[in-house]
Amino acid sequence: MHQVNFSEQSMGELKKLDKLEQLQLIEQFSSLTPDMLRKNNEEVGNFERDGKRFYRIKFSQFRLYFEKQEEAYFVHYILHQHTISDFVFRFKLPVSEEWMVEQHQSFWNYLETLKK
């Protein structure tokens, strides 16, 4: 079992979960094996950004982005699935672009057209 550390953002999201969900989330980390981290599979995705290897696991409606640090995992972000934040982080767009996209009305108009 590895130690799991959380960033301020991920700790804030973790605190919003009930205790049972928190325990299930931690259990998901304890079940990770080195072999699972080596492969890019359905359970654990990975990509490199700024010289760091990030991993992504799915938990309920959340996506957890973390890195392996020696004998610990550091969870950088817990993001809701199908959100612009999740998309931006996964596809390596700069955060400032995310903010600009969200602020532009044409972006919201475009999303409305997808509903039809």
Residue spans per domain, the chain: 1-81, 82-116
For the cut 70, the answer to whether the pLDDT of residue 93 exceeds it is no
pLDDT of residue 110: 62
Indicate the average pLDDT of the chain: 77
pLDDT of residue 91: 66
Instruction: Give 85-89's long-range contacts (Cβ < 8 A, gap of 24+).
Output: 89/65
CATH of domain 1-81: 3.30.2310.20
**Interior CA angle at 6 toward 63 and 29, to 5°?**
60
What is the C-alpha separation between 116 and 109, in angstroms, rounded?
A: 12
Does this model's pTM top 0.75? My answer is no
More confident residue, 52 or 91: 52
Summarize pLDDT for 47-68 with one digit per residue, the tens: 887 788 889 888 888 888 899 9
For the cut 60, the answer to whether the pLDDT of residue 5 exceeds it is yes
